[in-house]
């Protein structure tokens, strides 16, 4: 007789919601329904407590003191780097640089790597799906170097047209900077295939993982990306902290991005030499409490288990998509086969900002506008969308309330 395989326990969303104090908020007479997670996710008590504990019992500047508090703070900071490296499956912790967020991580690469490697006539490959943070830094770098930017197009469902790569990837392609998940549509990009093909022509690849880390398991060695950027606040951690992963061999060859204390080896008025990675790219006093909070967020998510969270989020997305699509006059924007919990839509004759304002009066928080993706909106023939984005603490009942309130919006506008 074959013993049946053990089944994972059901995901207890009600219990998980107890970990997030802000979810008890009321907006006027209505309970808060927070569906703006792609902009910034809420924080569990484990993160809040870790930051409070740091400031209450462990705060001091790091790497510069021999006293107890400095040593304690330094140990917490260094252990957090190990936690991040394990989360990303980096080869070694020194490949993980603490920055303010994905935006600074991309700017760091565009400035430091770009300054050292881009030349006139070189080409940078982006996609139509990119957030402004993965467009503008490359425009600045390209202008400074005399390089050219090319764009991977998309279809009407919001998926990359990979057949175009044969013409776009050439010997002149020096860098591919690509989103892992679209913040505006939720499209999951097949970055592994893109990385393989970019490497075949000798290009370096940066992956913008700001939207993928809350939803997908990340293994930078398996992906074989050269750089990977993400922000802590979308990963249920603090604001103002993020990570740039980079292969050690590339990071070691890059000049400093910023200069100041703690990134130097020796300073004289004639010459300064710099430390190795990661310290070379972490000038000045870092966001120590943010690093501690980010590590706490990663540990919290590890306890919940990725598979259970992903299954719940996919169920939420499918349920909400069906309910919203059933409303006359609503059009879903971005229907890729592979998506995370982002639901963008428009309503006939109703501006997205009006939709968001009325939803807010009912306690429902969504995002409306171009979502820092104006080139994508132009491709879709839109000025913006309404966007509901889900996290594992959202419920099917909240998805139903979204749809019911959208029906009210439609009736208000006739």
List residues with catalytic annotation.
372
Angle, in degrees to the nearest 10, between helices 288-304 and 68-88? 40
Residue carrying the six token digits 């009407």: 156
Which whole-number Å values give the CA distances from 245 to 90, 135, 224, 262, 342, in the listed order? 8, 19, 11, 20, 25
Gap between the Cα atoms of 51 and 76, Å rounded: 11
Gap between the Cα atoms of 136 and 143, Å rounded: 11
DSSP 7: P
Gap between the Cα atoms of 345 and 331, Å rounded: 5
CB 30 within 8 A of CB 259: no
Handedness of CA 260, 263, 267, 272 (dihedral sign): negative
CA 366 distance to own-chain centroid: 18
Which whole-number Å values give the CA distances from 198 to 126, 140, 291, in the listed order? 12, 22, 32
Could you give the residue ranges of the DSSP H alpha helices within 125-211?
136-145, 165-168, 191-200
């Amino acid at each position: 007789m074959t013993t049946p395989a053990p089944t994972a326990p059901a995901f207890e969303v009600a219990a998980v919601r107890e970990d997030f104090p802000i979810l008890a908020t009321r907006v006027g007479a209505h309970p808060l329904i927070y569906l703006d997670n792609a902009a910034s996710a809420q924080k569990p008590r484990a993160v809040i407590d870790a930051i409070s504990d740091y400031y209450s019992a462990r705060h001091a500047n790091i790497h510069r003191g021999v006293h107890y508090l400095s040593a304690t703070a330094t140990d917490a900071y260094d252990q957090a780097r190990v936690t991040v490296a394990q989360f990303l499956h980096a080869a070694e912790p020194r490949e993980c640089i603490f920055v303010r967020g994905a935006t600074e991580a991309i700017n760091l690469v565009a400035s430091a790597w770009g300054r050292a490697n881009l030349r006139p006539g070189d080409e940078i490959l982006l996609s139509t799906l990119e957030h402004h943070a993965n467009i503008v830094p490359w425009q600045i770098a390209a202008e400074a170097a005399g390089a050219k930017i090319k764009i991977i197009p998309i279809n009407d469902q919001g998926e990359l047209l990979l057949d175009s790569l044969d013409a776009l990837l050439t010997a002149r392609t020096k860098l591919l900077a690509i989103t892992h998940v679209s913040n505006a549509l939720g499209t999951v990009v097949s970055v592994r295939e893109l990385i393989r093909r970019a490497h075949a022509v000798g290009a370096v690849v940066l992956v913008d993982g700001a939207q993928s880390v809350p939803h997908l398991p990340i293994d930078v060695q398996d992906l074989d990306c050269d750089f990977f950027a993400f922000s802590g606040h979308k990963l249920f951690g603090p604001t103002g902290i993020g990570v740039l992963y980079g292969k050690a061999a590339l990071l070691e060859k890059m000049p400093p991005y910023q200069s100041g204390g703690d990134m130097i080896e020796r300073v004289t008025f004639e010459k300064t030499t710099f430390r190795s990675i990661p310290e070379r790219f972490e000038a000045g006093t870092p966001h120590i409490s943010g690093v501690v909070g980010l590590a706490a967020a990663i540990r919290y998510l590890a306890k919940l288990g990725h598979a259970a969270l992903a299954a719940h989020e996919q169920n939420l997305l499918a349920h909400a998509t069906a309910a919203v699509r059933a409303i006359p006059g609503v059009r879903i924007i971005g229907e890729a086969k592979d998506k995370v919990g982002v639901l963008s839509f428009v309503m006939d004759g109703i501006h997205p900002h009006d939709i968001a304002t009325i939803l807010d009066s009912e306690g429902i928080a969504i995002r409306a506008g171009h979502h820092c993706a104006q080139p994508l909106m132009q491709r879709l023939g839109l000025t913006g969308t309404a966007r509901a984005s889900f996290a594992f603490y959202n419920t099917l009942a909240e998805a139903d309330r979204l749809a019911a309130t959208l029906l009210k919006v439609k009736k208000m506008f006739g």
